[in-house]
């Protein structure tokens, strides 16, 4: 059975292209280079007023102990805030307790 060499080359090139496409889809793409945008952040449910008061008491206790960074971490986890928003919240609680 005789197969012409150009036909084998074409079949090999098509096979390599298919393998490259499969491998390319399996790895994540950079959104800046035309990939899909990142998944939206999952927001946490709003805390009830009793839970909010409990978190504020914990924040005040950590501030009284001189652990401001831990208080900011707690605010971020409890309320789902970013770093600057949590710092502003802790600063406002700190200024209220200083009065």
pLDDT digits (tens, 9 = 90+) for 25-58: 777 666 677 666 666 666 655 556 566 778 999 9
Q: What is the mean pLDDT of residues 61-85?
A: 93
pLDDT at 21: 87
Comparison of pLDDT for 61 and 24, the residue scoring more: 61
For the chain, what is the HEC assignment?
Answer: CCCCHHHHHHHHHHHHHHHHHHHHHHCCCCHHHCCCCCCCCCCCCCCCHHHHHHHHHHHHHHHHCCCHHHHHHHHHHHHCCCHHHHHHHHHHHHHHHHC
């Amino acid at each position: 059975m005789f197969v012409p060499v150009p036909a084998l080359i074409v079949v090999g090139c098509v096979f390599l292209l298919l393998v490259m496409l499969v491998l390319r889809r399996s790895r994540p793409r950079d959104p800046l280079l035309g990939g899909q945008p990142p998944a939206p952040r999952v927001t946490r449910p709003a805390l009830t007023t009793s839970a909010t008061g409990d978190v504020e008491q914990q924040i005040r206790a950590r501030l009284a102990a001189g652990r401001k960074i831990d208080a900011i971490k707690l605010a971020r986890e409890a309320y789902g805030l970013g770093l600057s928003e949590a710092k502003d919240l802790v600063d406002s609680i700190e200024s209220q307790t200083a009065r």
